[in-house]
Structures are given as structure tokens and as C-alpha cells.
Chains A and B, each alone.
Chain A
Amino acid sequence: MAHPQIAVFARLANGNAVTVRRIEGQRTMLGRTQHSIFYDEFHDELVVPQPFAGAVLTFRGDANGEVAPIRVIQGPKAGLVLNDVMTVDPVHNEYFVPRGQGGGMVHVFDRIAQGDVAPIRILGGPNAGLGGIPSVDYEHNLFLVEGRNGLYIYDRTASGDVQPLRMITGGPKSGAKSIGGPVWIPGTRNFVATARKFEAREKSPDEPLNWQLAEDAQSFIGVWSIDDDGDVPPRYTIAHNIFKELRNLAIDPKHKTVMASDKTNNDITTFDFHEAWETFAPEKAERYVAPRTRSLESPRPNDPI
């Protein structure tokens, strides 16, 4: 990738948009592969992982140009490696960082930790296979993260190799699979996530690793309740036959829109999805266990970058 950066656009940016600012250059300590970014509105900070250096970088919310981060977590005690995603609990002042390199664990740090600090707790283990971009529901004390058998919902303070409270597995009943990248919606009991149609085909070894056609990818965005469990369908879905390599989501609570990034389309799309802010009755269904086949999709929660 030619140019690492954090490009910042106005909410209504469209097409060949002008950036309102960019964070870039040597002093920023950025590299490529920042696969998530979190804006902490309580403390007006931007937080990104830096996987090549096993670090977490925190910038001021209005950072612009070649500026250094105000805090860096990095070192043997921190124990990160190829950690390309993370999220923040701005209320309880914690960073949740999947360790990376297929470790299947999430390291939780004090928000204002600096330097080589140990996590205050570690969630998961080799069997859980936790990874992917997580999300914290700080109002209902939950932690949402991709696991080996679906999207796992833990108590926010869960520690060790414990079972999740609930698990949204996808499966034939819901018609969804590969549910990931959850984003909890503040003020609701809902979250949006990326998914693929259950019947969508997998890749063969002789074709590109990334989907080239939307009709092959069959990706979409869905909204579920944090109280759902099992092979529960999303209440609404949106953005079918658009994405090729859907990467991650962000929400604009004020305007009730959902934004999505797509690697192969190389774009950022915004959808009116005000239905995701509705209130849903929780649903429970039998959990579906997918066959354990090595997927060629990328990135997968258990894979390093």
C-alpha cells in the first residue's frame, strides 16, 4: 500500500472527496494495516492499533498532519503482536485489543496506560479463537467479538477462557454466516454487523483470495439484538449485492446512518439505516455449528493479518 494515513472526511463527503485533514508522516508512527479506528467522544481521542510494531497509538481527537501520538502502549508486558484491530470502552476507560497473530485472546488495557504495561485482564484462549473488530456495549456491560463459532457476547468484565453469555452463530435458519465486525448502537440494545448469505459459496484455491464480484461475495449488513442467541436472523439487512470485500462498519447515531468500508471496491459507503435504532424483542434459536473447514477468506478472526 503506497501511503499510510488517517484520512478525515466531512460527514457528507461524496465521490472524489476532499479530506478535511490527514494524519500522516513519520512522527505519527503509523504504518499500513490499521484495520480499525475508534473515536472516543468522551475524551476526544482517536485510537488505532499499530500491528507491525505491536502497539496501540492514541492521538488527540483533532490531530492533523504529522503529529505524534499522545500515548503508546507497546512492549513485552503488553504482549501484542500483529494486533490490527481494537475497540474502546470510553465509559469504563478500557482498551480491548485482540492480541493478534491468531492468539485467540483479547488483551484489556487501562485507557491511559502508557508504555510497556500488562493488560488488566485477558479474555479468551486458543479454543475461543477470538479476533476481528470487537465492540463494547458500555450501557449493558457487554463485550461483542468474533469467535470461532460465531459472534460471541460476553459480560464486559469477563476474563479468562470462559464461555460467552450468548452466541449468534448464523446458520440455515437465519440465512447468515461469517457474522463479524459488530458495532453496538449506543442508546439501544442493538448492534450492526457484517455478514454473508448462508448459501454463499467459499473460494477455491485457484481463484483470487479476495472476492472480485459482489454476487460471489453475497455480503450485507444486518442488525441484531444484544439479547439474541443462536441461529437468529437479523431483524433487517441492508446493502446487498454491493460489497466485494466488506471490511468494517461505523455508525452515525445522530443521523442514523451506517458506513461501510470495502477493500476491493476501495470505497466508503453510507446507508440510511434508521431501522437499526428500533427496539426489537430478543430471539433465541438453536446454535448452529459450522463445519470446521479452513476458509480462504481474509481476514478471518483466527488468522494473523
Chain B
Amino acid sequence: MRSLATRQTKIGIGLVLACVSFLVVSSGNYRTWRAETRIRTETRIDDPSRMTVSPMLGEMCPVPLGTVGEPIPVNPVTVALAMQQAAPARRTAGPTAAQKAEVASRKPIRRIHDEYPQYSAVAVDVERNEVVMADENLFQMLVYDRTTNTPPSASMSEPKRTIAGPKTFLELQCAIYIDPKNGDIYSLNNDTERHMTVWGRNQSGNVAPLWKLHTPMGSFGLAVDEQANEMLITGQTENVVAAYPRTAREEDLPSWVLWGDKTLLADPHGIALDTKKNVIFVANFGSTASPRALKPGENPLVVATGRGNFVPGSGRFLPVSITVYDKKARDNAAPLRVITGPRTQLNWPTGLFVDSDREELYVANDGGNSILVFHTDASGNAAPIRVLKGPKTQLAYPSSVFVDVKNNELWVANFGNHRATVYPRTAAGDTAPIRVIRSAPADMPSPSLANVRIGYDTKREQILAPN
């Protein structure tokens, strides 16, 4: 038995060596083939029908390379890989139950995961001296003392209260509003868990929200008109602004919408209200598509806040912008004006905040790692009146901005470095924050994953992870 096994092993080794020798000899041809294929691909003469594998050897050994018209291998890379595994791969009888069980119980050998909170939204409760942060990494709400300042030597600052867990319905939260009257915390989810959840200021732990509201798909921005008792919510997916009465709950419909091609809403993100000038600001990344025509009897409020109601093939890219609407604008109304153009420095504008007292519009400019401040009358290709940007600022993917007018402070939630940063209200240039709330050790890398997917770059041996 042993000599037979040895003989079989020698034969196996011999076969593998023969194939390896073949590959070595043909490697020059392989490189030539790769180069030729690249050229042919660009010139569109590589006929797929000419690609084949050897029927005798299956995917084990490639057919010799030849001239045009002769068979060429499907994929030398994978053929070589198949070669590597040739000896142990055959198993016709199927795995045993024990083998299956062993594999089934296997744990991951690696895990890319940020174990620390990543701030995606911020709001200050000026009445109660607290600041609330949304953590889009671990799906939780974190409440800190407003004056918390993480010392450089400290690992992090612990929150006073945390809301997190399966009962909370929290997921990928991106906007916060705090009711000044009672301290209730409104938190907006962004993705398929399409809810706005509302929390009493003393709630903590894995608890259900006080109430929740079903929101448009991809809800991102939240602004509350306290005079009109309305909540304005942007929907990224449907390119909509939906206004709900403060009393709306669960499946209640909005009372009105901004929705349609004339609005120029395009992947809308942050939203802010100027109650003095009675205008609405909306930040747009630029991707959009046209809504389909309404069918007879359809309620436009249902369609506008529904899911997937577009004309196929109508997708397009509009310039990045901040669109400005009359507060009374409804339906397919055009904006009063549009802030757009290279001088604006807009680059994935995300969160917005209006400082009505100073007539200033703050923009968390995610793609530019900056805070842009415009006059609230800005229009067209207007330059910001202030720009906060630079290494001292510690801005990294700023996604949310809040102005504390009582304490004259500007707050920023940074999704790229585990930090909320606080500045003087009118900070500009490369200004260091006056306080930092940090949720992780100072030098902790931030993968910034959110609703991630994956691919694999076989050439560079790298994991590709789009959010």
C-alpha cells in the first residue's frame, strides 16, 4: 500500500511538474497574450468565441498559444491557480459530516471593523448644557456634557448616556434635532430602516423610542420649523423634501412635498430653514433622475415618498449645489436661486445650518474637509465668506454642523476621525478647535465604513469596500 501510494505521489508530482514546466515555457507567451489581449480589447478585435479551454484537461492546462484564429486560453491566471490546487482538490464522494461540521464552525480569520463610535451628526441642547451625537458606525446615540473636552492624553470621553440596541430601530443615523421645550431627541435614519425615532431626554440603553415616523427612502436631512410645527426631511433616493406635521407618527403621510425635475433636487442631503427670510436651503450632491408620471388616482405624496418611482434611463448628474426655496414652495417648484460653481468650493456638501442672527449659512463640506460659510443671500458662483479648513482644524469628513448661538460656538461632527470639534462661532482658516470630544484613542485609524460592500483586487491583493 505504501509503495503504491508513493508511486501515485511520484506520478502526481510528475504531472504537476510537467504542467508547471509548460507554464514556465509559455510564460513569455502568456505575457505576450496579456499584452495582445489588452491591445485587442481596446481595438475590439478579441473575439470571445476564440477563447476556450482544453477539453481533455479541463481547466488544468491551457491550450498552447497560437496565431489569430487559433484557440487561446480563457484565463491563464486562473489556470495557474487551478494548477496550484490540482493535487488536493479532487473529491467526488463529497465531504463527510465531520468535515462539514468543522468547516461550518469556523470563525473569521480577520475582521475589519471600527470598534469606536464615529460621529455623523451633532446637535446641542443649549437649555440643558448637553450635546448629542449620532454614531453611524455602531448605530447609537451618545449624550455628553456640552463642555466635555477630551484631554490629548486620554483614550476617549465616555458619554453620559447611550441609546443603542435591537429595540431602538437606530441605524445609519445622519441628522438630529433637539426640541428646546422638553429636550426630546429626534434622530433620522438614512437607509432601509427608514424611520425618524424620537427619544425622551432621559432615555438610555436598549429601549424603544417614544415614537417613530416612517420617512422617505434615504432620508438624510432634518429641519424643524418650530413656528409652523413642521418637520422637513430630505429623501436622497427619491430626490424629495417631505414636510410632516409635528404630530405625524408611524405611516402618516407628509402634508406637502417638494419633488420633481424643476426643483433641481439631486441626491439631497442637509436641509436648513431661515425663519427670518422664510427660505429653505438644501444641499445636493448632484445625482438625480426624473420621477415617472402619476397614474390616475395616485396620491403624489405617496409616490414622492415611496420607493423607486423613476423613469428608466432618466438618470443624470447635475452640478453640486445648494438650492434655495421659498418656504411656501410646493410640489415641482423651482428654487429661488442656486449656489453652485467652482468658487463655492462645494464638494459633497452634507449638513447645513442657518445662523439667522448673522445671516450666515454653514455647510459641512464633506468632500473638501472644510466648513464653508455663505451669506444667506448668496447665489450662483458665490465664494464663501469664511472657510474653516486645514490640518489644525482636525476636520475629517465633516458631515454635520451646528451653531450654538447662546454660547457662540460652532460644532462639527467628523465621520473620519472619531471627533466632534468645537470652534468659536466665526472661526476661519486653519484654526484649531477650542474643544474636542473624541470617541477613540487619538491615533486610531478610521475605516469610515457604512453599509459597506466588498470586492477584491487580485492584482494588488487589496480589499475594495464601497460605502
Give residues in A with beta carbon < 8 Å to B. 1-20, 24-26, 29-39, 41-44, 46, 48, 50, 52-55, 61-62, 66, 74-82, 91-93, 99-103, 111-112, 138-139, 186-188, 208-210, 212-213, 220, 235-240, 242, 247-254, 256-257, 259-261, 263-273, 275, 277-281, 298-299, 303-305
Q: Does B299 contact A (CB under 8 A)?
A: no
Nearest-CB residue, chain B, relative to A223 = B103
A81-B310, A267-B112, A270-B111 given; name 14 further pairs at CB < 8 Å.
A2-B118, A10-B461, A25-B347, A53-B316, A77-B313, A81-B308, A81-B312, A187-B81, A212-B165, A236-B95, A240-B105, A259-B456, A265-B113, A278-B88
Q: Does B256 contact A (CB under 8 A)?
A: no
Q: What is the CB-to-nearest-CB distance from B440 to chain A, in angstroms, rounded to a whole number?
A: 8
Q: Is the interface of A mostly helix, strand, loop or mixed?
A: loop
Whether B91 lies near A52 (C-beta < 8 A) is no
Q: Roughly how many angstroms separate A172 CA and B194 CA in the complex, as a whole number?
A: 33
Residue from B89, B91, B193, B315 in contact with A54 in the complex, judged by beta carbons closer than 8 Å: B315
Residues of B within 8 A of A273 (CB): 103, 106
Nearest-CB residue, chain B, relative to A52 = B287
Selected A-B contacts with CB under 8 Å, 7 pairs: A4-B348, A14-B110, A26-B286, A33-B451, A42-B37, A80-B312, A271-B106
Whether A139 lies near B350 (C-beta < 8 A) is no
Residues of A within 8 A of B190 (CB): 1, 32
Residues of A within 8 A of B110 (CB): 12-14, 269-270
Q: What is the CB-to-nearest-CB distance from A199 to chain B, in angstroms, rounded to a whole number?
A: 16
Whether B456 lies near A52 (C-beta < 8 A) is no
Q: Does B192 contact A (CB under 8 A)?
A: yes
Q: Give the interface segment out of B45-53, B271-279, B330-338.
A: B45-53
Q: What is the CB-to-nearest-CB distance from A1 to chain B, in angstroms, rounded to a whole number?
A: 5
Whether A1 lies near B136 (C-beta < 8 A) is yes
Q: What is the CB-to-nearest-CB distance from A25 to chain B, in angstroms, rounded to a whole number?
A: 4
Residues of B within 8 A of A263 (CB): 191, 451-452
Whether A266 lies near B449 (C-beta < 8 A) is yes
Whether B94 lies near A280 (C-beta < 8 A) is yes
Q: Roughly how many angstroms separate A83 CA and B16 CA in the complex, as a whole number?
A: 44
Residue among B42, B217, B455 having the largest count of chain A Cβ atoms under 10 Å: B455
Q: Give the interface segment out of B24-32, B167-175, B223-231.
A: B167-175
Q: Does B246 contact A (CB under 8 A)?
A: no
Q: Roughly how many angstroms separate A24 CA and B447 CA in the complex, as a whole number?
A: 13
Residue from A93, A254, A281 in contact with B48 in the complex, judged by beta carbons closer than 8 Å: A93
Whether B457 lies near A8 (C-beta < 8 A) is yes
Q: What is the CB-to-nearest-CB distance from B314 to chain A, in angstroms, rounded to a whole number?
A: 7
Residues of A within 8 A of B237 (CB): 33, 52, 82, 305
Q: A26-B320, A260-B454, A305-B237 are in contact. Are A3 and B109 (CB under 8 A)?
A: no
Residues of A within 8 A of B348 (CB): 3-4, 25-26
Q: Does B179 contact A (CB under 8 A)?
A: no
Q: What is the CB-to-nearest-CB distance from B99 to chain A, in angstroms, rounded to a whole number?
A: 8
Nearest-CB residue, chain A, relative to B168 = A208
Q: Roughly how many angstroms separate A198 CA and B311 CA in the complex, as a whole number?
A: 37
Residues of B within 8 A of A235 (CB): 94-95, 100
Whether A238 lies near B106 (C-beta < 8 A) is yes
Q: A43-B41, A93-B46 are in contact. Are A6 and B465 (CB under 8 A)?
A: yes
Q: What is the CB-to-nearest-CB distance from B20 to chain A, in angstroms, rounded to a whole number?
A: 15
Q: What is the CB-to-nearest-CB distance from B463 to chain A, in angstroms, rounded to a whole number?
A: 4
Q: Does B38 contact A (CB under 8 A)?
A: yes
Q: Does B424 contact A (CB under 8 A)?
A: no
Residue from A2, A14, A18, A19 in contact with B366 in the complex, judged by beta carbons closer than 8 Å: A2
Residue among A52, A53, A93 having the largest count of chain B Cβ atoms under 10 Å: A52
Q: A7-B448, A53-B316, A299-B192 are in contact. Are A81 and B48 (CB under 8 A)?
A: no
Q: Does B358 contact A (CB under 8 A)?
A: no
Q: A31-B285, A32-B236, A187-B79 are in contact. Are A16 and B446 (CB under 8 A)?
A: yes
Q: Give the interface segment out of B1-9, B70-78, B151-159, B426-434.
A: B70-78
